[in-house]
Chains A and B, each alone.
Chain A
């Protein structure tokens, strides 16, 4: 069953998706096997031996009518330390030049906003972020790279995102974070979830290495704060 709240990318629509998602989680609705919240819809997988479309629909409508009773937790902003440019961000120069900016200006714009995590998918730990400025938009690479290291921060058109695991891809790479966005041995396996915000925080290469060491020793805690903007 897919519950649709609209067909556009809109924080208000996304918020309703998340509200129903959390309400179903909390109510532990019988027969529901899995939930996939997206930009504007909620996929509800159910076991037809335990419930039916009709009874599930009436149950979810009931929950939807009482969403105000279960307010969303306050949004979190997860700070992602990012080393911009150099070998970690080989396309920073292109992105800046494409937009008639200096590299520092491009970094300031990219790191100057909280990005809403609209959804996660299609692959493990990948975040669909909203809110990037058009002033640093850039086309995808004509020829995708065959292996992009985990943690790479990229731009494709008006989207920005982080490669959670090494994979091929065609985004313009502007930096890299030492933070592992997907680790199946962790519970949960991700550090940000749909509904959170991401803030990229520029760090030097030295700081990047220091954080990487701390992560390996298990002494690093990801900075998380409330929304201030």
Chain B
């Protein structure tokens, strides 16, 4: 069903899901949401399965008009979302009326927001996924970013959440800031660097370069010293691989990365920390901390536990909102007394 009319596509708004698996052997990148935590949270908030397709919004959000009622959830970056003339709360489900326009005033925290619509964005599956891979024009809406005039269709017919609104409790909502500590597991080619090089990698503060995109985040900072050159016989590139080419600076490979590469990889950023990097803006600080596999697995479980806290909105814990409501009530009361 046609649910959204795109009035303005924004900087880079694409249809994404959890990614395209089973085709990397043919050279097809996985693509999928860069911040999988936010994508999955958005889906769960509207009652979708984790692998439903949603929209990934980048930095400058789009302008979207709803043409039918819908239940939506916005997660990830704070891009200054407004529904009509009111701020749209993030990390909770909201029922939207036909004619409502979702717009964005500009980034406040983080760079990528995720919009889920109950039912899931309906585009044809390409190789088992709806994720957009622009470089090869695969998936999404004609394999490209959203443009003004596009219609976004939604599957099924469940505009309103039956059990009431859902939220991710405030303590689990990430605040991104401008300094990002990423945990890494060393390898597979950490033995191709000098001990000094590994030390440089783990002790330096890097800065996110403007040449960062869905393929990977290029970092600027101290050069990492190779033992005998940066070239290897090409092998597979896992999500989060920290590739160090001849210039010695690290590149963290993300969802749109090539499936194989011929440069040394010093480490791999653990899955639960990829969302943090995906929210980093050019100029942000990045540091790396080496952990073992058990720590990495524990971090995965912590993240799953956070997602599992999504539940009905209760007014008790949300003190900040209650205070706001109380303040408004007090103002209205004082106006009435005059």
* Chain A contact residues, CB within 8 Å of chain B: 2, 4, 7-9, 21, 33-43, 45, 48-49, 52-53, 119-126, 128, 164-165, 182, 184-185, 188-190, 193-194
Contact = CB atoms under 8 A, between A and B. Distances in A.
Contact of B235 (A2, A21, A33): A2
A122 B235 contact: no
Nearest to B299: A48
Contacts of B271: 48
A193 B297 contact: no
A156 B288 CA distance: 37
Among B26, B187, B297, max chain A CB count under 10 A is at B26
A4 B200 CA distance: 26
A48 B187 CA distance: 17
A2 to B, nearest CB: 5
A24 B189 CA distance: 24
Given A4-B235, A124-B138, 10 more contacts: A35-B24, A39-B233, A39-B235, A49-B300, A52-B297, A120-B27, A120-B259, A121-B236, A124-B28, A164-B27
Given A122-B27, A165-B136, A34 B21 contact: yes
Contact of B259 (A36, A165, A184): A36
A184 B238 contact: no
A52 B185 CA distance: 14
B296 interface: yes
Given A49-B300, A123-B136, A189-B127, A34 B22 contact: yes
Contacts of B21: 33-34, 45
B297 A124 contact: no
Contacts of A45: 21, 238-239
Nearest to A35: B25
B300 A123 contact: no
Contact of B27 (A4, A8, A35, A126): A126
B233 A125 contact: no
B232 interface: yes
Given A38-B260, A49-B304, A188-B26, A124 B234 contact: no
B4 to A, nearest CB: 25
Q: Which 10 A-B pairs have the closest CB atoms?
A: A43-B236, A122-B258, A121-B260, A36-B236, A121-B259, A41-B235, A121-B27, A38-B235, A120-B27, A124-B28
B293 interface: yes
Residue from A39, A45, A184 whose CB has the most chain B CB atoms within 10 Å: A184
A2 B188 contact: yes
A8 B231 CA distance: 12
B261 interface: yes
B127 A184 contact: yes
Contacts of A193: 25-26
B190 to A, nearest CB: 12
B251 to A, nearest CB: 14
B26 to A, nearest CB: 5
Contacts of A125: 26-27
Interface residues of B, number: 36
A7 B228 CA distance: 14
10 contacts: A7-B233, A34-B30, A36-B236, A36-B237, A37-B236, A41-B236, A48-B271, A122-B261, A128-B234, A188-B26
B260 A189 contact: no
A188 B23 CA distance: 9
A35 B260 CA distance: 12
A38 B234 contact: yes
Contacts of B260: 36, 38, 119, 121-122
B291 interface: no
A21 B236 CA distance: 13
A119 B26 contact: no
B178 to A, nearest CB: 29
B126 interface: yes
A8 B233 contact: yes
A43 B21 CA distance: 13
Interface in B247-277: 258-261, 271
B139 to A, nearest CB: 9
Given A36-B25, A122-B27, A48 B296 contact: yes
A124 B27 contact: yes
Interface string B22-44: 11111111100000000000000
Contacts of B126: 184-185
Contacts of A124: 23, 26-29, 136, 138
Given A122-B260, A125-B26, A2 B297 contact: no
Nearest to A121: B260
A189 B26 contact: yes
B25 A194 contact: yes
A4 B192 CA distance: 15
Given A36-B25, A36-B260, A188-B26, A7 B232 contact: yes
A38 B136 CA distance: 21
A73 to B, nearest CB: 15
